[in-house]
Amino acid sequence: MSIITDITDEHPDSVFTIIDGFDDAIEGIMECANMGPRIIYNKEKIINMLIDMDMTHEEAMEYFYYNIFYVYINDQSPVFIHKKGGSNE
């Protein structure tokens, strides 16, 4: 079973914005009063996944901000975390 399936099964009445190809960067979901749940992605994991696709770090950062971060702007937008101390595990 995939993490996306787990999340949607746990929240059948919720709508999520999912970033295709980055399931391995999902940390969980955010739940907050007066807001629907949102998927939490680890920003560093996404950057590293882009680097693994033969991008430089600079290219990966640019791609992240212009093609992922600023594209998903709605009530179901994913949340991106940056873990302090460099831990991405």
Give the residues across from 38 on adjacent strands.
Answer: 30
Mean pLDDT for 2-23 is 93
Proportion of the chain above pLDDT 90, given as a percent: 76
DSSP the chain: --HHHHHHHH-TT------TT-GGGEEEEEEETTEEEEEEEEHHHHHHHHHHTT--HHHHHHHHIIIIITT--STT--EEE--GGG---
Q: How confident is the model at residue 88 (pLDDT cuts 50, 70, 90)?
A: low
Q: Would the pLDDT of 54 be above 90?
A: yes
Q: How confident is the model at residue 2 (pLDDT cuts 50, 70, 90)?
A: very high
What is the model's pTM? 0.87
d(CA 50, CA 35): 30
Tally of domains within the chain: 1
What pLDDT score was predicted for residue 4?
Answer: 93
